[in-house]
Each structure stands twice: as structure tokens, then as C-alpha cells.
């Protein structure tokens, strides 16, 4: 496999708080990799370090063979590294279509407004929002806002997409639809790092799982091995939940 992202000994300190501690991992082309851990484990901070929202205290980020440590968020977006946010905040006074066009014009640097509009409509059709293209983004339901967030990210023409809690607040049926959409995105050849609490989603989509605890990477590997790791059971899953997960996977 070809390494798309290489994170090496990445750390971030806020005063006396070590939020991320010496984290190293690799993402390969075409993978879906899950990132799990308790609240406060450092997952979102790690994503912020990769995408340039925060500068690391130490360590490096290499993307597409180029050292991008400390790059700015707009540079990350234009290099093919896109992300969604746990709290979805579309541009409320703009239409759904205009929200997606913004991504195409800014990050993908589409040549003209017309081309941006055409690209935006294609992405809206892909996520199932084409019939709401001309509505204000503020009028969308939460599930539709999540889909809009994905369409905006896809408009940036990413090679790597970091999805931060995209299923938060969704019901079971909506989660199933979101999982199908994520599989369709991966089928386009886009690598996905999935930051997620719902183990149904993580186990249903991920080829590998990374586990953060107190800012450290405590486990990494195939899903079956990770959920059986005593460190993961103690820090995150709990013994009863881990046993139930293993039973479900055997069945």
C-alpha cells in the first residue's frame, strides 16, 4: 500500500496539559481507518494538528510525501486534506448550493463560477440534497446539514477526508444511510479517517482502528484485535460491552 499520511511523534501541550503525546501512525491510500477513544482523549486535537488548526509542540505531519507540519488550514484544504466538524455550521444566509460552491471555488480553486456551480450540483446529487439546492442552508434538518457538510468537503476534491463525529445526533436509520454514503465516498478512492464514538459505525466501516487515551495511541490494528486488547477494554469499552461486540462479530 502507498502511504498517504504519515504522522510521526506528534505532540501538543497547552501549558501544563499534554493533550496529544508522541502519536505516530500511517494512513494508506484507499483505507477507512477509525479513530476512537474516551471524551477528552485528544481525538479532535489530533485532527486539528493534522489540518493546521493547531501547530504541534513537536513531531511532524507528512501528506502526499510532503512535510506539511504547521501548515495553515487553507493550505491543508487546497492540498487535498479536508475535514468535517463535530458541530455543523453551514453559512446560514447562503443557499445549500452556494455553500458547496464556496468549497469548490476556494479549496478546489475551480476556474469559474459556472464550473463551481456544476461541480456543486454533482456533489449535492451524490449526497442526496439536489432537490434542496436552492433552499437556505439554515432551513435544513440536522441529517441534511450533515450531508451538506459532506458535500462541502467533497467539493474541495480531497484525497483524505477526516470525519469528526458525523453521526452525532442521528437516529438508527439515519446512521445506516450515513454509513452507506461513507462507503460510497471511499469507493471514489478517497481515504477516510473516521473519528467516531458509535462502535457499530467504526466496526462496520473500518479496515483498521486507532485508539487514543489521555493523548496517547494505546492500540492500533484490525478491529477484532483492537476490541480484544485489554488496554482498550479498560480505557474505553468496558468488559461487558467488549464481550458483546466480540459475540456480535462471531455471529
Q: Domain extents for the chain?
A: 3-222
Model pLDDT, residue 204: 94
Model pLDDT, residue 226: 94
Q: What is the pTM of this model?
A: 0.90
Q: What is the mean pLDDT of residues 229-249?
A: 78
Burial (CB count <10 Å: 0-12, 13-18, 19+), residue 12: buried
More confident residue, 14 or 86: 14
As a whole number of angstroms, the distance between CA 126 and CA 181 comes to 9
pLDDT digits (tens, 9 = 90+) for 135-155: 999 999 999 999 999 999 999
Does the domain formed by 3-222 have CATH 3.40.50.300? yes
Of the candidates 180, 116, 182, 170, the residue with the CA atom closest to the CA atom of residue 141:
170
104 — pLDDT class (breaks 50, 70, 90)? confident
More confident residue, 109 or 192: 192
Model pLDDT, residue 249: 58
162 has pLDDT over 90? yes
Looking at residue 168, what DSSP letter applies? Answer: T
**Is residue 249 within 8 Å of 203, Cβ to Cβ?**
yes
247 has pLDDT over 90? no
245 has pLDDT over 80? no
More confident residue, 236 or 7: 7
Dihedral angle of Cα 175, 162, 84, 166, to the nearest 10 degrees: 20
Amino acid at each position: 500500500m502507498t502511504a498517504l499520511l504519515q504522522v510521526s511523534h506528534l505532540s501538543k501541550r497547552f501549558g501544563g496539559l499534554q493533550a496529544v503525546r508522541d502519536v505516530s501512525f500511517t494512513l494508506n491510500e484507499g483505507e477507512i481507518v477509525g479513530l476512537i477513544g474516551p471524551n477528552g482523549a485528544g481525538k479532535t486535537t489530533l485532527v486539528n494538528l493534522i489540518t493546521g488548526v493547531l501547530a504541534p509542540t513537536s513531531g511532524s505531519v507528512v501528506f502526499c510525501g510532503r512535510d506539511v507540519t504547521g501548515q495553515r488550514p487553507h493550505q491543508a484544504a487546497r492540498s487535498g486534506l479536508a475535514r468535517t466538524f463535530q458541530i455543523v455550521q453551514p453559512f446560514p444566509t447562503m443557499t445549500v448550493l452556494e455553500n458547496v460552491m464556496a468549497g469548490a471555488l476556494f479549496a478546489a480553486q475551480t476556474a469559474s463560477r459556472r464550473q463551481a456551480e456544476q461541480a456543486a450540483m454533482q456533489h449535492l446529487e451524490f449526497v442526496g440534497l439536489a432537490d434542496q439546492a436552492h433552499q437556505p442552508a439554515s432551513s435544513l434538518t440536522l441529517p441534511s446539514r450533515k450531508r451538506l457538510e459532506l458535500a462541502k468537503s467533497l467539493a474541495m476534491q480531497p484525497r483524505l477526508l477526516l470525519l469528526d463525529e458525523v453521526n452525532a445526533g442521528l437516529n438508527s436509520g439515519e446512521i445506516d444511510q450515513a454509513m452507506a454514503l461513507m462507503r460510497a465516498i471511499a469507493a471514489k478512492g478517497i481515504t477516510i479517517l473516521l473519528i467516531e464514538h458509535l462502535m457499530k459505525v467504526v466496526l462496520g466501516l473500518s479496515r483498521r482502528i486507532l485508539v487514543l487515551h489521555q493523548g496517547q495511541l494505546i492500540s492500533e490494528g484490525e478491529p477484532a484485535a483492537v476490541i480484544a486488547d485489554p488496554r482498550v477494554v479498560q480505557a474505553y469499552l468496558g468488559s461487558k460491552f467488549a464481550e458483546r461486540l466480540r459475540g456480535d462479530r462471531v455471529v
